[in-house]
């Protein structure tokens, strides 16, 4: 689920992605649940770099159906990369002091990588936000990929 659109309004849990933001939240009374960022090998985007042999101009293609102009040559053949970048190798969910075990919340900015949607050309995108249940130590993410994953064709 990518939005907080239930009949019940869930508490929104924010994520801090740098030391300063985490410490600001601690000063405001939040408990940081620190997580290491670990990119998933499932999440990836493809590209191909071509170059005009006359002008030297570079273009990047993202769709296998793209036509390569006659005067262009491939300088990097179709490859995949992890498309998300964060400045810090860690982040923290900002836990309010009054959260209850078993409380269902909405994680606005997921730290963990979950494959949300894929394209038949190989691209796979990450889930940005999701509901979760607080178990007293961490969140049990309420995402079932086999039921909610989207597949794009084209």
Indicate if the pLDDT at residue 23 is higher than 70: yes
* 86 part of a folded domain: no
* 2 part of a folded domain: no
147: helix, coil or strand?
helix
Residue 94's DSSP bridge partners are 32
Q: What is the dihedral of CA 48, 53, 55, 56, to 10 degrees?
A: 50
- Report the share of the chain in percent with pLDDT over 90: 79
pTM higher than the cut 0.75: yes
Q: Do 70 and 121 sit in the same domain of this protein?
A: no
Q: Do 25 and 96 sit in the same domain of this protein?
A: yes
Indicate if the pLDDT at residue 2 is higher than 50: no
Tokens of 147: 């039921």
List, for residues 131-146, the tens digit of each pLDDT value. Answer: 999 999 999 999 987 6
pLDDT of residue 6: 53
Q: Do 55 and 122 sit in the same domain of this protein?
A: no
pLDDT of residue 57: 96
List, for residues 94-113, the tens digit of each pLDDT value. Answer: 999 999 999 999 999 999 99
Mean pLDDT of the chain, nearest integer: 90
Indicate if the pLDDT at residue 147 is higher than 50: no
Q: Do 99 and 143 sit in the same domain of this protein?
A: yes
Instruction: Look at the chain and report how many structural domains it folds into.
Output: 2
Q: Do 138 and 67 sit in the same domain of this protein?
A: no
Q: Do 134 and 98 sit in the same domain of this protein?
A: yes
Domain range enclosing 22:
11-38+91-152
pLDDT of residue 146: 61
């Amino acid at each position: 689920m990518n939005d907080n659109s239930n009949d019940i309004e869930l508490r929104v849990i924010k994520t801090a992605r740098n030391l300063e933001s985490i410490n600001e939240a601690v000063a405001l009374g939040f408990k940081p649940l620190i997580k290491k960022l670990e990119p998933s090998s499932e999440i990836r985007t493809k590209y191909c770099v071509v170059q005009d042999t006359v002008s030297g101009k570079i273009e990047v293609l993202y769709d296998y159906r793209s036509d390569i102009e006659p005067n262009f040559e491939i300088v990097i053949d179709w490859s995949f990369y992890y498309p998300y970048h964060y400045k810090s190798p860690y982040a923290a969910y900002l836990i309010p002091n009054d959260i209850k075990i078993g409380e269902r919340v909405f994680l606005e900015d997921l730290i963990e990588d979950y494959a949300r949607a894929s394209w038949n050309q190989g691209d796979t995108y990450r889930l940005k936000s999701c509901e979760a249940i607080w178990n007293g130590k961490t969140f049990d993410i309420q995402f079932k990929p086999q039921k909610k994953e989207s597949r794009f064709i084209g």
